[in-house]
Amino acid sequence: MGLNTILTKDTICLHLKGSNKQDIINELLDLLVAAGKVTDKAAALAAVMEREGKMSTGMKHGIAIPHGKTNAVSDLVTCIGVSDSPVDFEALDGEPCRIFIMTISPLEKTGPHLQFLAEISLLFKSQEKRAEMLKAGTPEEILRALSE
């Protein structure tokens, strides 16, 4: 699937302003709505928050992967946000997060969603990749880091 095939510079934000989980999720959804990737923000928000309610998507190493399934999208969509300040996302390792990768997929398409989550988790086990993401100055630098 490749992140660089579904991410665009319009779906990358390098300076998220949110200071909590709800704010970050709203900012990421705003990115996807502005890019024309999500047709119903309320439905997408409900799907992501329902998933968060089951178990936090804050992973390890300062990364969170909020995600959900809804018919507010026709295909898998994703965006990346980086926060200048650490945000408590109730991560599995108890550490705050600075890198946020949101994905939303249609209810009836399970394969791409699972493949995407697997790719993301492998990619960000690399300390070098995480460091590149945090120091990126432009969306293009994020795209370049992901394609290497």
Q: Give the list of residues 6+ apart from residue 12 with CB closer than 8 angstroms, or none.
A: 31, 79, 80, 81, 139, 142, 143
- CB 104 within 8 Å of CB 136: no
Q: Which residues are catalytic?
A: 67
Using alpha carbons, select from 101, 107, 113 the residue that is nearest to residue 72.
107
108 by Cβ neighbours in 10 Å (0-12 / 13-18 / 19+) ranks as exposed
Does residue 131 sit in helix, strand or coil?
A: helix
56, 95, 114 from 32: Cα distances, Å: 21, 26, 20
d(CA 89, CA 95): 8
